Amino acid sequence: MNKDKPFAQQLKAKAVELGFAACGIAPADAAPRAGERLRAWLAEGMHGEMIWMEARAGERASPAGLWPEVRSVIALGMSYAPGVDPLALAGEGVRGRISVYAQGGDYHDIVKRALKALARWIVAEAGGDLKVFVDTAPVMEKPLAEAAGLGWQGKHSNLVSRDHGSWLFLGAIYTTLDLASDTPGRDRCGSCDACQRACPTDAFPAPYRLDARRCISYLTIEHKGPIPLELRDGIGNRIYGCDDCLAVCPWNKFAEAAAANRAFLPRAELTAPALGDLLALDDSAFREVFAGSPIKRIGRDRMVRNAAIAAGNSGDVALVDPLRALADDPSDVIREAAAWALARLFAPAAAGERSNT
């Protein structure tokens, strides 16, 4: 099929019908510098333990690197705009903060289901071959979404939309069809550096560059070992991900919670979980609590490790007993985090005793 604008319009209407808030089209070669930037980032080691990014860098660098037959990329965004302030729990030491995107249903399943439905419609209407992707394949969704006009990659390196702020789950469809493309997004960050200043662990060495090794989302989700001591204060009570750089973006004022897919509405038990409850989780209880959530993929040990770090930052001695119960935990990472947390909680009392002598 040649570049058929009416068909592209029908495709976008169908995408909205299936729950997507944004849809755009780009030629497969529309983000030529993305691969170059990826290779430079990997060379600096900023991907940390995410070895899969390095292992498949050639496929990730461009759509044709993954699938030589691709002609067009359909970029799609599904809104998860929150109805409450993502930073509201910043001062609630005994409650864990879970990133907004993980408080509802697992986006992998929800977005992929909609992508497959749209793919079936495309094949029925226009033919061609295609492949669908959401997060788990070597696809650079953000540069491609920018090329397709969904927004631009902001200084926090995530996509920013004029209509949906920083709250879009991204998916992509690669197709052999030659579709009419959209105007690429234009950077509208200007002189704003709110996201850079908001980061609690200084994970941005420069605008538009993220050092994942210092990012709380990476540390609490991807990193398997002990969290570096110098970064633990900055984690605060965040136990899965971090929204700070996204939440402070001024473009979020245009994002409407009503546009969010209802599948991402927060589950009550995930909006403000008690740290004491999380510290007591065994593997079976972890799987039960986080069933149907993207959180389930980190496993019980990383969640309890994160909760122990948050407990150490809480200043609440009521968490001493749950932490002591982890002294014989099979996981050495959990034992270390619990011991650190106990030392933190007892430190103020010890300092007071010394000052009175």
Whether 135 sits among the annotated catalytic residues: the reply is yes
Contacts of 317 (CB under 8 A, 6+ apart): 345
Are 253 and 288 in contact, with CB atoms under 8 Å apart?
no
171 close to 112: Cβ distance less than 8 angstroms: yes
Output the furthest CA–CA distance in the chain (Å, rounded).
Answer: 84
Instruction: State the alpha helices, DSSP H only, in the chain.
Output: 5-17, 34-43, 51-55, 57-60, 63-66, 107-126, 141-147, 194-198, 216-217, 229-235, 244-247, 268-271, 275-279, 283-289, 299-314, 320-324, 332-355
- Under 8 Å CB-to-CB from 225, ≥6 apart: which residues? 333
Query: From CA 119, how far away is CA 112, in angstroms rounded?
Result: 10
Residue by residue, DSSP assigns 292-311 as TSGGGGGHHHHHHHHHHHHH
Marked catalytic residue, from 29, 85, 106, 135: 135
Paired strand residues for 75? 24, 172
Catalytic positions, please?
Answer: 135
